[in-house]
Chain A
Amino acid sequence: MHEDGWSRFMQTGQVYDYLAYKGHPEMEEAKSKAGETHEYSDAGFRNTDRNCYQGRTDWGI
């Protein structure tokens, strides 16, 4: 979604997120690889605290 693309770029600050937001043709292939995109979700400015807590919960289970 258009709005989501901008939010994502503002969180990560990564150049490829900006290109994806602008719908750059070379980003089409990368956009379809959802798994790869998520691998980078903790890069840049995103606060990772939530993921840490999630991790701890998972270990408990």
Chain B
Amino acid sequence: MQDFVILTGIVIKAEPIGEYDKRIVILTKERGKISAFARGARRPGNRLMAPTNPFSFGQFQFYATRNAYTLSEAEITNYFEELRHDFKGAYYGMYFLEIADYYTRENSDETAMLKLLYQSLRALTAQNFDNKLVRFIFELKAVVLNGEFPGRATNDTLLESTAYTIDYIMKTPVERLFSFQVTAEVLQELGAYSRKVCQNIMDKNFKSLEILENIDEFVYNKTQ
């Protein structure tokens, strides 16, 4: 008899396998990051086609064999459809998925990271939030959650507001994280600080970030 498991999570990666199947990677609340096969998910009209796209958040039912999961049903509560109409938002979202993929492991408690990812994607779809601010909050909080944040150095020459913002990001629970705005000056300084921290800690180049930065550079040059 096959054992079914129902897990809550978000699809962070999907790639084609065989002629009609997909292999997906899901960040789950219960079992950390797992990979699973979705048979027939690339067949037109298949019920697993939409739920196996990245950003799909909801409950997934799998049957687990000894060395793999196979997706059988999915009940999606949020597809983050808004990102499909927001070109840059989609890249920010992809970047968050890449960081989540980089930081998470199988069979470890990734509830905090899942919450952070979900709330950050929600913030990306909200009109009143600057995507750059969402990015810097996500980057710093991801580093904090994974226990790699070195703490603010005493000799950092930051504006008082920037230092307060960094402390706020460090100490505030994820649920209340996206509840503030900053001035352009603080945002710029926060960005420089976040980049410095990420470059020191993360030993990987994220492709979506590279594209994002190229787009920003292109837009900046066009407006000059």
Give the B-binding residues of A (Cβ under 8 A). 1, 3, 6-7, 9-11, 13, 15, 18, 21, 44-47, 50
Contact = CB atoms under 8 A, between A and B. Distances in A.
A21 B53 CA distance: 14
Contacts, number: 34
* Interface of A (DSSP majority class): helix
Given A10-B94, A50-B17, A44 B50 contact: no
Cβ-closest 8 pairs across A and B: A10-B54, A47-B15, A3-B49, A13-B208, A7-B53, A13-B207, A18-B87, A13-B94
B54 to A, nearest CB: 5
Interface residues of B, number: 20
Interface of B: 13-17, 42, 44, 49-50, 53-54, 84, 87, 90-91, 94, 207-208, 211, 215
B207 A44 contact: yes
Choose among B15, B42, B94 the residue with the greatest number of A CB atoms under 10 Å from its CB.
Answer: B15
